[in-house]
Structures are given as C-alpha cells and as structure tokens.
Structure 1
Amino acid sequence: MESPTRQAFKRFLKSPSGKVGLALTLALVLLALFIPVLKPYDPTTDRDYLNRLKPPSLEHPFGTDHLGRDIFTRVLHGSRISLQVGVLSVGIGLVAGTLLGLIAGFFRGRTEVAIGWLADLLLAFPGTLLAIAIVAVAGPSLQNAMIAIGVVQIPVYIRLARSMVLSLREQDFVQAAVALGAGNGRILFKHILPGTLPPLVVQATLSIGTATLEAAALGFLGLGAQPPAPEWGAMIADSFKGGYAMNAPWTMIFPGLFIMLTVLAFNLLGDGLRDALDPRSR
C-alpha cells in the first residue's frame, strides 16, 4: 500500500495547474538564487544617460528607463527582493498566526475570546491600508514592509488554525492521548499540529502571491524597498510619476508582467497543492 505522501505527490502530478505553477515557481526561485552570479549588478553605478528611454533591443531586451538603466537586469534582480518579501512576510504571519490559532482553539475560554478580538481588529482594516499604516509609523524600508505584510497575514492563519484545532481536538487519537495523561504541549504540537499543516501549507503558498502584490503596492508608494534598489513596484512608480508610461510603456510593462507571473505561479501552485492534500476539495 502506498504511503499518503506518495499518493499526494501523484495527485499533484495529475494537476495541470499544479505542474504549471511548480514550473513557474522553480524558474523564479532559480532566477532569484543565481542571477547575482550569472549577471552581477550594482544599482548605484548603472546609470547611462546617453541611453535614456531606449526601446527594447538586442542590447537592452526590456529597454532602458529614464536614467538609462537596463530594465531587463533590474527586473531580474528585482525577483530576489519580491520573493524575499513574499516568503519572509508569509513566514511571519504563518508562525505567529498558527501559534495563536492553536492556543485559541485548544484552551478556549477567555484566551480564545482575546485572540479572536485581535484577529477581528486586524481584519477590520483593509490589508494594504493596514500595511501602509504600519510602515508609515515604523518608517519606510524593506524590513518594515516585510513586518507590516506579515502582520496583515496573521489573522488569516489564526482563524484557519483555530478551526482545524476545534475539529481535531474531538478526534479519537487526541482523546486517547488525553486519557493516557499526555501534557497539553505534547497534545498540541505532536498530535494536533501535524493535522493542521496541509491547509496551512496551501494557504501559505497562496499568500505569497498576495504578499507580492502588497509589497509592490508599498514599493509603488515609496514605503517599501528604497531607491536605487530594483523593486518592481518602485520601478512602476518611477515610470508613472515621471510621465513615461505613454512614451516609454516598456518601463511599466515588464515589471508589471513579472508581478503578474509571480502571483500566477504561486496561485497555481497553491491550487495544485490543495488538490493533492485535500482530494475532497476538487
């Protein structure tokens, strides 16, 4: 009899969206890892005023911007920043939200009410608006943008983890552990937590796409990665604010295209993982 992991892997391979999402995600990850080696880049010394706003060509496949910078190089290096923000911010939300959700669902009572109020308070604000407020208070930087986006993600995982705990805590294997005298920590982290991981992993994968959009929005507003860092949202902002969108549309098209591809990649990967880990959802 095949193991559940092998069965899930086979189901994933049968998912067209999962395979496309995995291929795109791997391409983006490999690009982010190896582009500094294949094509080193220093954003502080890349200006070439003689080649300002040149259209796409063999020398500059994506054209150049208003400072003569090669958009192709900047977009490729921007993948590192966007993936870094997406993965780390989702990691913050996943760890903090899952821990709070586990505590709320397991201990119930006033603890659950307090954590529920926290989740409701965070959900009362639109996600991007809340991230903007946090960064505005803490100061614009890439690190603060990651923390802000992570905080926005927390209530999603609180609710998801809590709902899974409420379901799992009544299962026979948990009741057997209680009857054998297992401590709360052992029951929570050894018996209940593993059962919550499949939906949490799927949600985390989907959230990376959302985090990428929020990072681009903060970068567009000047609250994310600061110049001259090649961040996709900031690149679109430079084109928009400088009025180059009509005369040099490539300055906006290619950063926007990579944002779209990143979001699409992780959404498709999340769909494939959902089909693999929870066949009943299909």
Structure 2
Amino acid sequence: MSENTQNNTPKKEQYSLNDDRRVKVLSPGALVAKRFFRNRLAVVGLTMLLAMFVFSFIGGVVSPYGQDQQFYTYTQMSKEYVGVTRNDKLRFVVADGQEFGSIAQSKGNEAIKKGEETFTYKDNNYEVENLSEDLYVFRQGRTVLAYASKDMVTAADGVAELSFDAKLAALTAQAAGETTFTADGQDYELDADGNIIQSGSEVAYIGRFVVSAADASVVISRDFRDRLEEAIDDNITEFNYTDADGNEAEYDIVYDASTGVWSVKQMTETYVFDRYASPNKEHWLGTDTNGMDMLTRLMYGGRVSLIIGFIVVAIEGSIGIVMGGISGYFGGWVDNLIMRIVDVFYCLPSMPIIIILGAAMDAMRIDSWTRMMYLMLILGFLGWPGIARLVRGQILSLREQEFMTAAEACGISAWHRIFRHLIPNVIPQLIVTCTMSLGSTILTEATLSFLGLGVKYPFASWGNIINDVNNAYVMTNYLFIWVPAGICLLITVLGFNFVGDGLRDAFDPKMKR
C-alpha cells in the first residue's frame, strides 16, 4: 500500500475505558418511558385516554351547544280539558250564610228515601218540602237552609253565577211547569230547553251534566257544553269543535265506568321539549328526556367524571401518603394507632354510607355544585387506607437501608427524611396504584349518579346520563341515550387499566417474568 493511500485513510477515534462516550446511558425515567412505550397494550390504553380527554375537554369547547341547553319543538298533544258527570243523584246546595253540613245532608237523604216530611238532628227540627221527585227544599221554620236537586243551574258564560234564591226559583218554576219566575227583584223567563233568559239574553240554563274544566282559567261556553252533551248522548268518542274565535280543535271522550266520569281531552299543538329526538344533522346523537343534545352532554359528562376521578385520587393519595409515611417511619405506638384507624376505615360499609349521605343531601336540597364537592370529599376520605398501607409497607423496607442511615447521620430532620428521601422512592408504586384506582373511582361515581345519589342536574356525568334509562321502553327503543355513555365509560376505565398495567411493568420489569 502506498504512503499516499495510508495518509488518506481516516484514523479510528480511540476511547478510554472511563470515557462517558463509550456507553449511551439512559436516565431511570427514560428507561421507564422506553419500557412503557414498548408495551403495545399500554400504548393502546394511553391512546384511548388521550382520545377521551380530547373528546371531553376540547369537544365541550368547540360544541355549539351548552350542557344544559334545551331544545323545543311543536307537537300534537292530548291534554285533559274538562271532566263531565251526569248528575243522576240528588246534589245539595246550601243557602248563603246557613249551616247544613254533610251529616245533616245525610239525615235529609234518609228522610227523602223514607218519604218523611221532617227529621231531627242535634235537637233541631227540619222540614222537607217535596216540590218534585227531583227537587226537595229543606227549611227550619220559614228559613230555607238548602235544596237538593238532580238538575243544576249553570251560568251561560260559565262565570257569572246566579244567587241561591234565583237558582231555587228557577228549579221551582221548572218543577211547576211555569215559564216565568221572579227572584232578587228581577224577572226571568224559562224556555222548554231549560234556558234562563233575562231581558232577552240567556244568563243561565238548567241541566244534569256537570262540566268541570281541568284548568280554572278556562271558561266553558254554553255552545261547547251543548256540543259535548250531544256527543255523550250519542256515544261519540271524538268530535271537532270551533270556538267563537275560529280556533278548531279535536276532542277525545273517554268514559271511566268506575267513577262515572267522562274525561274530555283536547288535541292541541304544544311547544314542548324535543324529547328523545332521533340522531340527525343538528343532534348527531339525538336528544335526551329534557330535550338536551346528547353529544354535548356526553362531552361535559366526561369532563365531570374525569375531574371527579382525579380529584378523588388526589385526596386519597394526599391523606394516604401522610398517614402511611408517618406510620412506616416512626413505627411503635404511632404505627399501631394509624393502622387501627386504617382497620376501622376498612370495616366501614362505604356504599351504604355514601347512599345515606346522598339521600340526606337530597332531603336538604343541596345545590348541584356543592353536592359534587361533597361527593369528591366523601369518596376521597373513604378511599385513602389502601394507599396508606402501601406507603407504610414500602417505607418499612426503605428506612433501614444505608442511604437513610447516612441521612440520619448528617442530622437531617425526620420530616425531611420522610418527604424528601423516602416518599420519592415510593412514587413509582403510587403512580401505578393511583392510575389503577382512577378507573374504579369513575365507575363508583357513575354508579352513584345512576342511582340518583351522585352528580345532579344541570351537571352531566356519564352516570346520570345512563340514569335517563328509567324504564324498559326507553332502554329498548332509544339506544342512543345510554349506549354511547356506556361505551365512553368502557373506553376510559379500560384505558386506565391498560396504562396502569403498562406502568407497573415499566417500573418493575421482573414482574412480567
């Protein structure tokens, strides 16, 4: 080989044995990350969680609707309009200012059935005047106390009622077959159809149908009463009626044989919640029972469920680290005391306690936001013993090692040794435990919300969204109400479990063997 060729060949760089460039060294954190991302199942779980976080937190921001925004629509609804009874029994009407109670009326009925002209009640004598088989008048001396009649006097406009004397005079005239009568200084006419006329205007009428409006503000016209009575007499179950303002409506008549009442329902166009609307271009997952957009509720529900999960785990971790750290480091009577407290918490029936507290908050009508805060505090306060035992066990094994002996020899305080040297060595196990418990916390919150004891309206959570499925009909016919929330719960909890398993294997690879 020529001298020029040797000069052109680059010399290979030589490293000494103590040169850091010989070996590429990874930090402990980088090694954990490398092992974690080599675990395909852990990566899948992390991807699932990222998708749910983006869906819940970013989706709620970009959604054009609010979590409690309600949507309305017009629909034909059947509403209770009036109730109708045929008065086939004697009905008592008591004069103004007179006393003739239910017991006296019962005594009067007995006298009528026996054909007696007098009866006694509470040492008082009463007279029964028979004007016809459908009209009886009750007196005490010359004073008229009441009358009992199968026919009723009803104002023509449904508002301006005649006086007691006018009603009795009208019924008396009808029983006697007269066409005129006088009452309260006024002259009235009575036609063959039972219409009471004063000065050429109909003011009332006599009939056996009693029509009671479901809404006190509704005035039943005479024309509608006549049309209704005609339909009932002809056994018609539905009819159309146009009122004086030209508004036409359809009416359904349903007879209840047990009560003897005809229920008249009006079909009207009503502005109501757009309940259980099927998925469409405006509402991709339809609407719920309150007319709210389901996709938006799912987004905000995920935000609430995830926030509750993280805050509860943070509370559990904070209490557990402090109690476990103190117990494991000091030992002795301190350890015994804290472990007995942990045993007491393990013996508490958590779910019944939470249900009782939830019912108490319902009774006290605590607002939704405060209730959610209480829920997080309760779940966190009841869940710390497991973390405390984990921390205690780890610290018991670490406190006897050489680095702790050196720290104590250097004069470092006990609290500094616990929270600056011992606790950081427990963090890997804590991360795994807390990650795994996030899924169970979210499931617990969803269960409580489903039972109506967790997050309340107007806040959404995946649990109270599923709570809308309160009967078999909704569950089988409106799958878009509860299936998406169930899928979100499944993906989130499964993702946390996958990530927890991946972190456990990354921190301690020997566990896979």
Change (3 A) 1:50 1:131: closer
Q: Residues of 1 paired with 2:340 and 2:471: CA distance?
A: 40
Question: In the alignment, what sits opposite 1:248?
Answer: 478
Larger Rg: 2
Matches within 5 A, 1:78-227: 78-136=301-359, 141-227=371-457
What's the TM-score once normalised by structure 1's chain length?
A: 0.92
Change (3 A) 1:72 1:85: same
Change (3 A) 1:137 1:280: farther
SS across alignment from 1:240: coil
Give the partner amino acid of 2:46. L
Q: Kindly, what percent of the aligned residue pairs are identical?
A: 34
Q: Residues of 2 paired with 1:102 and 1:14: CA distance?
A: 33
Is contact 1:138-1:144 (8 Å) kept? no
Is contact 1:219-1:233 (8 Å) kept? yes
Is contact 2:69-2:293 (8 Å) kept? no
**How far apart are residue 111 of structure 1 and its match?**
1.5
Among 37, 51, 54, which residue is 2:61 paired with? Answer: 37
Give the partner amino acid of 1:77. Y
Q: Residues of 2 paired with 1:243 and 1:148: CA distance?
A: 35
1:242-279 CA deviation, whole Å, 9 max, x = no partner?
A: 85112212212111111111111111111111111121
Change (3 A) 1:245 1:169: same
Q: Residues of 2 paired with 1:189 and 1:240: CA distance?
A: 49
Is contact 1:12-1:18 (8 Å) kept? yes
Question: In the alignment, what sits opposite 1:56?
Answer: 279
Q: Residues of 1 paired with 2:481 and 2:286: CA distance?
A: 7
1:2-32 CA deviation, whole Å, 9 max, x = no partner?
A: 1111111100011112101111112222233
Change (3 A) 1:241 1:89: farther
Change (3 A) 1:44 1:3: closer
**How far apart are residue 58 of structure 1 and its match?**
3.9
1:139-196 CA deviation, whole Å, 9 max, x = no partner?
A: 6611111112112320111111111111111111112212222210121111101111
Question: In the alignment, what sits opposite 2:122?
Answer: none
Change (3 A) 1:133 1:179: farther
Question: In the alignment, what sits opposite 2:259?
Answer: none
Change (3 A) 1:173 1:227: same
Structure number with the bigger relative contact order (C-alpha 8 A, sep ≥ 6) is: 1
1:85-140 CA deviation, whole Å, 9 max, x = no partner?
A: 00001000001111100001111122111211221122223543343344445666
Is contact 1:145-1:223 (8 Å) kept? no
Give the partner amino acid of 1:88. I
What's the TM-score once normalised by structure 2's chain length?
A: 0.52
Q: Residues of 2 paired with 1:194 and 1:103: CA distance?
A: 14
Give the partner amino acid of 1:47. F
Is contact 1:51-1:64 (8 Å) kept? yes
Give the partner amino acid of 1:99. V
Change (3 A) 1:130 1:21: farther
2:473 matches 1:238: no
Give the partner amino acid of 2:30. R
- Structure richer in helix, relative to its length: 1
Q: Residues of 2 paired with 1:137 and 1:74: CA distance?
A: 27
Is contact 2:57-2:300 (8 Å) kept? no
- Structure richer in strand, relative to its length: 2
Question: In the alignment, what sits opposite 2:41?
Answer: 17
Is contact 1:128-1:214 (8 Å) kept? no
Question: In the alignment, what sits opposite 1:258?
Answer: 488
SS across alignment from 1:244: helix
2:295 matches 1:72: yes
Give the partner amino acid of 2:340. W
Kindly report the root-mean-square deviation, in angstroms, between the aligned alpha carbons of the 2 structures. Answer: 2.0
Change (3 A) 1:199 1:69: same
Structure 2 runs not aligned, ≥5 long:
1-24, 73-271
Change (3 A) 1:209 1:41: same
Question: In the alignment, what sits opposite 1:7?
Answer: 31
Is contact 1:236-1:251 (8 Å) kept? yes
Q: Which moved more, 1:188-197 or 1:221-230?
A: 221-230
**How far apart are residue 232 of structure 1 and its match?**
1.2
1:52-97 CA deviation, whole Å, 9 max, x = no partner?
A: 2233344433222223322111111111100110000100000111
Is contact 1:135-1:144 (8 Å) kept? no
